[in-house]
Amino acid sequence: MKTLELRNLKKTYFDPYAGSHVTAVHDVSLEVQQGDFVSVVGPSGCGKTTILNMVAGFIPHSGGEILLNGKAINGPGPERGVVFQSFALFPWKTVLDNVGFGPKMRGVPKAERDRIAHEYLALAGLSHAASRYPNELSGGMQQRVGVVRALANHPEVLLMDEPFASVDAQTRMTLQEELTRIWQERRPTVIFITHDVAEAVFLANRVVVLSKGRVLDQIEVALPRPRVWDDLIEDETFKRLSAQVLHMVRSA
């Protein structure tokens, strides 16, 4: 079942200094099935974050359609959860209240949303940090909160914008493994934006390669799950797929 569909999506900006229009996304069509995990990879300036911002409803699109369960989207909404590269946790709220924010906006009573938040914090191994403030946590822990905050709101689709780009390399690998584990347990529909080819292949069922505002190719990743770096780093299929995507991204 199709959850999300992009049809001939286009984005042009007006540059007031140059006095002309700039096209960031030319013509992108994409389908994402319910429960699928799709990575979008491409060099910087290929329009991948612009696409995510349009799907999230943060910026309007200039042409084409964005359909969620067959209906056109209109502005940001809770059915499209977002995980940010900057984490975007509310500094004045405890970890528990950050995770309970989505349920709070839905009008869920305090006791019930605390129960939900505790459940999701446990999923990310963060139960001990519930009463702490975001600035008291490491970057890796902050982004775990960012991920479960989005998940606790039961979005139809989870949009992740280079979420692990600002944590250190070791933590990033742990977070990637945890994300695949959580995805297997909960089966959210995920669109994962990244410029890291290995990350894109490691996480996804399908990798969409983007170049200059167009879809260059889509590659199925038929690697078995659960995926663990210690196994995949030596895996021939993983190496071959990564190399294939890397060549495409570099020649793009």
Q: Pairing state of beta strands 80-83 and 71-72?
A: unpaired
Does residue 77 bind other proteins (CB under 8 A)?
A: yes
* 102 touching other proteins, by CB under 8 A: yes
Q: Binding of other proteins at residue 57 (CB under 8 A)?
A: yes
Is the alpha carbon torsion for 242, 45, 204, 219 positive or negative? negative
Nearer to other proteins, 156 or 235 (CB): 156
DSSP string, 19-39: TEEEEEEEEEEEEEETT-EEE
**In the complex, minimum distance from the CB of residue 183 to other proteins, in angstroms, rounded to a whole number:** 19
Given the complex with other proteins, which of 135 and 170 has the nearer CB atom?
135
Compare residues 57 and 227 and give the one whose CB is closer to other proteins: 57
Buried b (16+ CB within 10 A) or exposed e, 126-158: beebbeebbeebeebbbbbbbbbbbbbbebbbb
- Considering only residues 142 to 161 of the shown chain, the ones binding other proteins according to CB under 8 A are 149-150, 153, 159
Residue in this structure with the two tokens 């006095």, named with its chain if needed: 19
Among 20-28, 132-140, 192-200, 242-250, the segment contacting other proteins (CB under 8 A) = 132-140
User: Minimum Å distance from CB 159 to other proteins?
Assistant: 8
Task: Kindly tell me which residue out of 13, 14, 58, 240 binds other proteins, with binding defined by CB under 8 A.
Answer: 58
Site for other proteins (CB under 8 A): which residue of 13, 20, 90, 187? 90
In terms of CB distance, is 123 or 160 closer to other proteins? 160
In single-letter form, the type of residue at position 227 comes to R
Does position 47 interact with other proteins (CB under 8 A)? The reply is no
Q: Which two tokens stand for residue 34?
A: 């319910």
Distance of CA 223 to the CA centre of its chain: 20
What separation in angstroms does the CA of 145 have from each of 80, 117, 237? 17, 10, 32
Is 74 near other proteins (CB under 8 A)?
no
Cβ count within 10 A of residue 237: 13
Count of residues of this chain found to bind other proteins when the rule CB under 8 A is applied: 29
What residue ranges bind other proteins (CB under 8 A)?
Answer: 56-58, 75-78, 80-82, 84, 86, 88-92, 101-102, 105-106, 133-136, 149-150, 153, 159
